[in-house]
Amino acid sequence: MKTTAIIAGVGMTRFGKHLETGLKALGGEAVNAAIADAGIRKEDIQAAYVGNAAAGLVTGQESIRGQVVLRSVGIGKIPVINVENACASASTALNQAAAMVTAGLYDVVLAVGVEKLYHEDKKKSFAAFSGAVDVEALAEIMERLRAGARAGGAEKAASGAGENRSMFMDIYASAARGHMKRWGTTVQQFAKISAKNSFHGSLNPRAQFREALTVEDVLNSPMIAEPLTRPMCSPIGDGGAAVILVSEKKARELGISNPVRIATSVLHSGWDRGTEENGTADLCVQEAYAEAGVGPKDLSVLECHDASAPAELMAYESIGLCAKGEGGPLVDSGATTLGGRIPVNTSGGLLRKGHPVGATGIAQIVELTEQLQGRAGPRQVEGAKVALAHNGGGSIGSDAAAMCVTILTR
């Protein structure tokens, strides 16, 4: 979807463990920050799209999540649309908000993502992830993961999925072992991604983890599911992120002189495909490039869905930063580190910035908007002009259930 939506303001909380802070306070902090950044009044907002994935399971708040969060900061009357789409909830909310502005239905729309995943009962948190697959096939999926782990000699991965960790780490671990077998990718290359993102996260005051790790630190950390050590897995977290989108007419009224535009936002779901057929990420990326009139060589900076270190490496290949199977050598080249040819996850990514799932997609947009506006501080990519966000959610079969790719330009 080509869009004419312009980002007028962004805001987000620090991501982390906020056991004493509720969904309303987290969402409200992000919303108020975005409104202040845009220089508008609450009364100017004509509609809101609120992304959340797991409040029903974790906090018990169902049905009217967005209305509850927004009323707490004095926003009512307007249409509020609740969006649930697994880890792609926030990017889907943004996609829908941008569509409404582009269609000319609204001049000012708020898109929010908010999530609380920490709970005293860890099984409640992990249940939020187990619900992001086909639950009628859950037993079969778990057995297939265990069998694959046993066959590959992955002792840790052969038990404990969904109990002491998110089952998605087992899904990523299985994909990682497959990539290593097919392309010769190494555990050290996955560890380099975690170390890189920890360096980026150490520069981000809103990141959940700010300790810089070496490759050795990553490799020597506790094994979660072979080959993933703990720093190769995104943590659970709490947080909120928000964006104010405006029409070109409203941007002129507000005097936005150097606008960040949503050039395109592409949303697809996975499908039953052949084993050699490219998946939903490749589909979204190619469509996004065509609609925005750019290619991978035009990108200045990007945020991708590194729910695990191998997921980032595979995203490089889908996004076209390198050919299939060449993600490992790309990591080794240093190209994706700050100062490299194409910095990836300058925020620290999901691995270090954190992954409150319903907020993640818009948090990526916050980082990229600030990069394009030259206000990312020590993480700034010099002269950034074109940015890409890649955010997936859920799993059905061998692919993401939802995938959203957004390209921003200035």
Tokens for 378?
């020590």
Entry pTM: 0.97
Confidence band (pLDDT; 50, 70, 90) for 369? very high
Amino acid, single-letter form, for residue 8: A
The secondary structure of 239-294 as a DSSP string is EEEEEEEE-HHHHHHHT-SS-EEEEEEEEEE-----TTS--HHHHHHHHHHHHHT-
17 has a pLDDT exceeding 80: yes
Q: Where are the domains of the chain?
A: 6-120+236-409
- Reported as a single tens digit per residue, the pLDDT across 70-115 is 999 999 999 999 999 999 999 999 999 999 999 999 999 999 999 9
Q: Out of 87, 233, 322, 404, which one is annotated catalytic?
A: 87
Q: Residues near 273 by Cβ (< 8 Å), separated by ≥ 6?
A: 279, 397, 398, 399
Indicate the CATH number for domain 6-120+236-409. 3.40.47.10
Q: Is 87 a catalytic residue?
A: yes
Q: Out of 18, 200, 355, 390, which one is annotated catalytic?
A: 355
Longest dimension (CA), the chain: 62
- Reported as a single tens digit per residue, the pLDDT across 148-167 is 888 888 877 777 776 678 88
Q: Is 355 a catalytic residue?
A: yes
